[in-house]
Chains A and B, each alone.
Chain A
Amino acid sequence: MRPVVRRLLRPSQLQNAPPTFLLPSLLNTSQQSSPFSSTSSNPYPRDMNRERGVSTQRRTGLRQPVSISKTPLPKPVLDPKKRSKVEVDPDHGLWQFFHSKEKPMNTPEEDHAHGRAWTVEELRQKSWEDLHSLWWVCCKERNRISTESYERQRLDAGYGDAEARGRDAQVRVTMRGIKQTLTERYYSWQDAQQIAKTDTEVDLSGEGPAYTPMDYVEEGDVLEEETQLGTEVPLSSEAKPEAKAV
């Protein structure tokens, strides 16, 4: 028995022993292994370039086989009619790019059946969230119209372009109205800021309540205020109040 193996089998040295799966190599160290052939096993001789002669364009294949070399490659089904039917989720987000799921674009009659745009009067009553939601509704409708117009052009389907453009125009008028409403509100807010600087009832410092209305207005007080103010800040929407001379 080899000294190495004897040492291993002693119970005192079992903790420091090499793992048991190495035992066969320790037992068979007397055998000499030699290669089958005496030729050098360098697979890429002369210039060590493993990519030499390998081309995807010319479909040469690899120079050395790999583990998947024996598995056959899947072949694509070229005929669209022979392909397996794809299950499309009815709630897929891309359905929102179409008006109907049956056909890729609207008929001219369907495109023409739209109402009028939102007027600015109606939009002024809407909140920030409502206006922004409406903007996105308009955006998605425009995407729908654009997708269908492109498809109609590609298929050379016939009429429908004029109706689609009319529909798109109405949507854009609504979007213009939304921007106008928001702009008007912004200007009002700017004007209010200007007035608030000189208004005794308003405190914009941040300490204490912002608006403390006076309990009652005396005739004399109002007149004094107006003369003190001097040049009034001009408002964009309201008429300039007359400054009374005392």
Chain B
Amino acid sequence: MATQTAVRRGPKFGRKQVFLPNFTLTLLRTPNLPPTFASFIVPLNLNKLDLRDYLWHAYGIPVRGVRSYIQMQKVRQDKPNAKRPSPRKWFRPRSIKKMMVEMEKPFVWPEAPESFAEWDKETFDAAQEDRTKMESTFRPDWHTKPSAERGTIAEQAKALLKGEATWEPSLKGWEDVGEPVEVETNVRV
């Protein structure tokens, strides 16, 4: 019987050389896909053949197949990177192109860390809350919403009406500032 040597050719590539490519690939975590699949966010003008070429030559990953899809983004009202909302200035952010790649060998992402203490999550979240509160005071509908003190005022009023508390002025007594002094002496009008 003749030996059947399976000549495994690499994937087919073009002959065009690309120098100094300037874009970024972002690998995504896909726990619901089989481990032989990987998903990337790619630039909008990259195609499946380019991605296969890139993964083979830069990372040594042989790829069986590539599937791509473009996610259109929702129309937004702000300018890009705006903290204050600028209404009626509508724009649609750039679409996101994602590509799913089937590989020969499986890959599983490293586990997410249990505690985010090294990233100081507590301080970060507290700072985020503070910032949101401060930013909400600048919104145009700030005065239409009840202030934070309304709740405590309502509680105090209830207690007063029930008779559980009695009203007392916060400034107790008079402050002694000494004898009255005429300040406007020798004033020429």
User: What's the nearest-Cβ distance from chain A to residue B69, in Å?
Assistant: 17
Q: Are A143 and B26 in contact (CB under 8 A)?
A: yes
Q: Are A104 and B38 in contact (CB under 8 A)?
A: no
Does B24 belong to the interface (CB within 8 Å)?
A: yes
- Known: A136-B58, A139-B58, A157-B121. Is A103-B113 also a contact (CB below 8 A)? yes
Contact partner of B119 (CB less than 8 A), chosen from A80, A97, A158, is A158
User: What's the nearest-Cβ distance from chain B to residue A176, in Å?
Assistant: 10
- Known: A93-B55, A93-B60, A132-B19. Is A155-B112 also a contact (CB below 8 A)? yes
Nearest residue in A to B124 (C-beta to C-beta)? A158
Inter-chain residue pair count (beta carbon < 8 A): 97
Q: Are A139 and B29 in contact (CB under 8 A)?
A: no
Contact partner of A88 (CB less than 8 A), chosen from B58, B107, B111, is B107
Chain B residues with CB under 8 A of A86:
35, 106, 108
User: What's the nearest-Cβ distance from chain B to residue A75, in Å?
Assistant: 15
User: What's the nearest-Cβ distance from chain A to residue B84, in Å?
Assistant: 21
Chain A residues with CB under 8 A of B121:
156-158
Distance in angstroms between the alpha carbons of A182 and B106 in the assembled complex: 39
Number of chain B residues whose Cβ lies closer than 8 Å to a Cβ of chain A:
38
Does B118 belong to the interface (CB within 8 Å)?
A: yes
Which of chain B's residues 22-46 have a Cβ closer than 8 Å to chain A? Answer: 22, 24-29, 31, 35, 38, 41
Q: Are A97 and B27 in contact (CB under 8 A)?
A: yes
Which segment, of A32-40, A43-51, A144-152, A208-216, faces chain B?
Answer: A144-152
Chain A residues with CB under 8 A of B167:
none
Contact partner of A159 (CB less than 8 A), chosen from B55, B110, B124, is B124
B interface, CB within 8 angstroms of A: 19-22, 24-29, 31, 35, 38, 41, 55, 58-61, 103, 105-113, 116, 118-125
Q: Can you sample 16 A-B contacts with CB below 8 Å? A: A80-B31, A86-B35, A89-B105, A92-B61, A92-B105, A94-B27, A98-B110, A107-B118, A108-B118, A139-B21, A143-B26, A147-B26, A147-B27, A157-B113, A158-B122, A159-B120
